[in-house]
Structure 1
Amino acid sequence: MKIALLTCEKLPNLNPEDQKIIPALAKYNIEASAVIWSDKTINWTDFDYLIFRNTWDYFEKETEFKIWLDQIEKLGIKTLNPIEVIKHNIHKFYLREMEQQGITILPTVFMDKTDTLNLTEVLPSHWKKAVIKPAFSAGSYLTEVFEVSQIQAITKKYKSIAAEKELLLQEFMPEIQTLGETSFIFFNKKFSHAVNKKPVDGDFRVQSLFGGKYTLVQPSAELIEKAQKVVNTFQEKLLYARVDGILIDEELFLMEIECIEPDLYFNLSENSLNRFVTAIVELIA
């Protein structure tokens, strides 16, 4: 059994935590290796499975990534998570479908591509502050938070982006700066662990790249069940899913469900790597 752990040019050998997957799988006689998804020299049919791990440049190479996904699909190569899940999850308009299925999401305006961007027209009147970002993005790429008083400047700044990309406009929740964001991690649709991520003072971005502080937490059974409900909207099997949300008064406001290449915080939760590898073995058996 040969498995490619997909990564990007910036991390040709995977990040340090994901590198540990390789010897862990070897114990099951599974040969795993780090492979750059955009490497044109790779013969993908050499692999039995592809696992998306550190493909952290896909949103910067949108067209190339979509073409590559189509290529893998045509070749019939099995992937974890499945290609149809990846294709759907890379575009954050899936949140609209989640809401229609009864999931509580952050208050969001979904904006199609337009040559005549007018944020004043679409911004709900009771919002005081908002976040704008492309629907095809990750890691705070082209993401800005702004006060209503700045709406003209932001409209001007995003005018050319709106002509090329669908956008999300979300109400800014001040709790992100105090309570932070909580990630619920699931392997094979079973809850594994949860991590709270708080931004540095004065920022809203929780990524460690921007100084965010990560802490292992134990959510209540009720909150885990709410995150499980999000995961259960998927009919397909999932190797992993990371449910990111803000917890306000014991309500989970979904920000996104990451099924592409999320950090799974193996370093923060004991035995989580083993649980992940067990899930791989269960799904390819």
Structure 2
Amino acid sequence: MNVALLTCAKLPYLNPEDQLLIPELAKHQIHAKAVIWDDPTINWNEFDWLIFRNTWDYFEKEQEFNLWLDQIERSGIKTLNPIAVIKQNKHKFYLRDLQQQGIAIIPTVFIDKTSNLNLSEIIPAHWKNAVIKPAFSGGAYQTTLFDVIETAYMNEEYRTIASEKELLVQEFMPEIKEFGETSFIFFNKKFSHCVNKKPMAGDFRVQVQFGGQYTAVKPTEELIQKAQQIVNTFDDQLLYARVDGIVINNELHLMEVECIEPDLYFNLSEGSQTRFVSELLELIH
């Protein structure tokens, strides 16, 4: 069986943790290799399955990515996660759907494309600080933390982006500086491991490229069940899902569910690559 582990030109050989999936899969007579998703020379019909892993530039190439997804969907090549999940998950308005299903999300305002962005009209009066970002984004791309008294300035800064993309404005939760963001990782909808990510002093972004510190943690069974409830809202198969949120008073406040190309922190959980491969085998056989 031939499997493509999808990546991007920035990481042509995958990140180091994902590279280790190749020998793991070889133990099960599966030939896997890193393939750049937008490489025009690739014949996708050579592969039995495409596994989304390090496509970490898709939000910078929105139009190309959408066209490529359509092409793969038409071809009938099987993917994990499924194309239907990728299409839904790439646009963060899915959070609104989850909220309507009773999932507690970070307080969020959803903004349709507009040529007349007016943040002061739509941000609740009691908010002090907010984070603005495109609905189609990742890795803190085009993401800004601002004081709500700066809305006039932010209207100018995001005027062009707002005319081209839907936006989210989320209340900034100061707890993220103290408690960090917690990621619950699931393989085949089964809980695997959990990681806490704290931003560097003076920053709000938890990503490691901005100085974020990552630590493996053991969440309570109650918190795992709350994350499981979010994963269970998906009808489709999920090889992996990463539920990111802030835990305040043992309540999980969802920030996002990553189902496209999340870092799965294999390096912070012994045996997690083996668990991943085991669940992958279950789904593809």
The TM-score, its normalising length taken from structure 1, stands at 1.00
Tell me the equivalent position of 1:166: 166
Q: Does 1:249 align with 2:249?
A: yes
Give the whole-Å Cα distance in 2 for the aligned partners of 1:87 and 1:74: 14
Tell me the equivalent position of 2:2: 2
State the SS of the aligned residue for 1:59: helix
In the alignment of these two chains, the number of paired residues is: 285
Cα displacement string for residues 5-39 of structure 1 (whole angstroms, at most 9, x for unaligned residues): 00000000000000000000000000000000000
Tell me the equivalent position of 1:262: 262
Cα displacement string for residues 207-259 of structure 1 (whole angstroms, at most 9, x for unaligned residues): 00000000000000000000000000000110000000000000000000000
Give the whole-Å Cα distance in 1 for the aligned partners of 2:221 and 2:274: 23
Tell me the equivalent position of 1:29: 29
Q: Does 1:90 align with 2:52?
A: no
Tell me the equivalent position of 1:14: 14
Tell me the equivalent position of 1:222: 222
Amino acid at match of 2:271: N
Give the whole-Å Cα distance in 2 for the aligned partners of 1:161 and 1:89: 20
Tell me the equivalent position of 2:198: 198
Give the whole-Å Cα distance in 2 for the aligned partners of 1:235 and 1:209: 33
Cα displacement string for residues 117-149 of structure 1 (whole angstroms, at most 9, x for unaligned residues): 000100101111100000000000000011112
Give the whole-Å Cα distance in 1 for the aligned partners of 2:264 and 2:241: 9
Tell me the equivalent position of 1:238: 238
State the SS of the aligned residue for 2:98: helix
Tell me the equivalent position of 1:67: 67
State the SS of the aligned residue for 1:133: strand
Give the whole-Å Cα distance in 2 for the aligned partners of 1:133 and 1:120: 16
Amino acid at match of 1:138: G
Tell me the equivalent position of 1:277: 277
Tell me the equivalent position of 1:139: 139
TM-aligned CA deviation for residue 266 of structure 1: 0.4
Tell me the equivalent position of 1:45: 45
Give the whole-Å Cα distance in 1 for the aligned partners of 2:61 and 2:151: 29
Gaps of 5+ in 2: none
Amino acid at match of 2:91: H
CA RMSD of aligned residues (A): 0.4
Segments of 4+ moved more than 3 angstroms: none
Amino acid at match of 1:131: V
